[in-house]
Amino acid sequence: MKKYPLSLSLSALILILIFSCKKSNSGGSSSAATSYLSAVVSYSPQQKIVDSFYYDSTHQLDTFTQTIYDTTSGSPLYNSYTIQFIYQSPNTYPSYYNLYDVTYGNYGDYHLLSYDGQGRISRDTSLSGSGYVTYYSYPNNNIAAADLFEGTVQDNLIDTFYLTNGNISAETVYLSEIPGQPDQQQGYAQLTYSSTANPGYHAAVTSTIGPLLNNITVTNNGGFVDFLSKNVVQQETGTESSFPPTFSFSYTQTLDSKSRLSELAGPTAAAGSIVFSYY
């Protein structure tokens, strides 16, 4: 499991709006997503990220793949990793998953998943010997994910989502930068939402492994997927540790003929856009 990339701005991190699923379903709604997505592509200058999800015949999440193409460093960069979930009957949520990142020589990192009494993800433990573990908690019905990259608090990331009316209204990110010193805040953001349904919100997934899916993308190539909010973000403002220290963005939505989100665009070309394709 790779660490959170410090070069990724919080504004990009918070642009987490997509849940892609390789399964068709008709219809759309302004209050809840009823269609599944076949592909989601995030475009920004010199970078493209493609997310794909595959479901089994019972609509359980079977496989997730994320691929990144990047030339921001001056030379081409390509990476693709795959998560394969494993279910144990009669549970409707996965008990394990395997992470494959062949580009970086990872041919299988086996993870054990634990849940609380309400069926919500509570712990993600790597069985590879790396020490990696993530603890999930739900203080005051908000969501906190604490990543211990090597199994100790000396190397951690804490990501907290504050929920209002079923949407992420604020997020804070803290990271350990100096061993033995308190974590440093990497950013804070406040978000407001439109009435458009977030195509990534599906109650059965969000209520069980939504926080896990969000954390996996954030700690790998970058998080552009909102597995938690019911609606699509309209505006965000906040602060971050990198330049510029403050940001404020409004997003433009394009809907298809079924009133489903088909594109979410930033205020400028540099801010990029995200394109949604449905079965």
Structure-block tokens of residue 9: 């701005």
Q: With bands split at pLDDT 50, 70 and 90, how would you rate the model's confidence at 20? A: very low
Structure-block tokens of residue 114: 């634990």
Distance separating alpha carbons of residues 275 and 39, to the nearest angstrom: 8
Give the pLDDT confidence of 93-112 residue by residue, as tens digits. 999 999 998 877 777 899 99
Distance (Å) of CA 137 to CA 13, 96, 145, 188:
20, 19, 7, 19
Closest CA to 44 of 78, 23, 68, 21: 68
Look-up: residue for tokens 């794909």?
52
Can you spell out the DSSP letters for 179-246? TTS--EEEEEEEEEEEEEE-TT--HHHHTTTHHHHHHHHHTTT-----SS-SEEEEEEEEEESSSSSE
Please state the separation of Cα 149 from the chain's center in Å. Answer: 17
- The proportion of the chain whose per-residue pLDDT surpasses 70, expressed as a percent, equals 88
Is residue 197 pLDDT above 80, yes or no? yes
Per CATH, is 10-278 categorized as 2.70.98? no
Q: What is the pLDDT of residue 12?
A: 44
Domain ranges of the chain: 10-278
Give the pLDDT confidence of 108-166 residue by residue, as tens digits. 899 999 999 999 999 999 999 989 999 999 999 999 999 999 998 888 999 999 999 99
Is residue 202 pLDDT above 60, yes or no? yes
Is residue 188 pLDDT above 50, yes or no? yes
pTM summary value: 0.84
DSSP collapsed to 3 states, the chain:
CCCCCCCCCHHHHHCCCCCECECCCCCCCCCCCCCCEEEEEEEECCEEEEEEEEECCCCCEEEEEEEEEECCCCCCEEEEEEEEEECCCCCCCCCEEEEEEHHHCEEEEEEEEEECCCCCEEEEEECCCCCCEEEEECHHHCEEEEEECCCCCCCEEEEEEEEECCEEEEEEEEECCCCCCCCEEEEEEEEEEEEEECCCCCHHHHCCCHHHHHHHHHCCCCCCCCCCCCEEEEEEEEEECCCCCEEEEECEEEECCCCCEEEEECCCHHHCEEEEEEC
Contact 31, 274 (CB under 8 A): no
